[in-house]
Amino acid sequence: EPEVTQTPSHQVTQMGQEVILRCVPISNHLYFYWYRQILGQKVEFLVSFYNNEISEKSEIFDDQFSVERPDGSNFTLKIRSTKLEDSAMYFCASTRSPTGGGNTIYFGEGSWLTVV
């Protein structure tokens, strides 16, 4: 079964450092997402990406965050200057189409970011 893969699985970084989380979405999918989940809290939407541009972003996705699809397979999330409160599990996801009606969105296993 096709899957979304993420690297690294776990990263520890010092406050203020830049972090890049990488994702390889499912190959024929067109819509890509990043979500995060702070320990013990709900899964929160960060950003959606389609046709090489951001289609929607949440309040969490401020100027410290950016996304990129540098080639035909990777989708990255960059945090420019990490803060302690950025510590969370970050999930990448992809789907063929975002419309309602029951499209399946596939999530990766997550990248656990710890900011110290």
Count of residues that interact with another protein, criterion CB under 8 A: 30
- Residues 6, 22: Cα–Cα separation, whole Å: 6
- Residues 13, 114: Cα–Cα separation, whole Å: 6
DSSP state of 59: T
For residue 85, the number of C-alpha atoms closer than 13 Å in the C-beta half-sphere is: 3
x/- site string to another protein, residues 59 to 88, per CB under 8 A? ------------------------------
Query: Shortest distance, CB of residue 81 to another protein, whole angstroms?
Result: 25
Q: Does 104 bind another protein (CB under 8 A)?
A: yes
Q: Does 93 bind another protein (CB under 8 A)?
A: yes
Q: Does 55 bind another protein (CB under 8 A)?
A: yes
Q: In this complex, which beta carbon is closest to another protein, that of residue 35 or of residue 82?
A: 35
Q: Is the peptide bond before 70 cis (omega within 30 degrees of 0)?
A: no
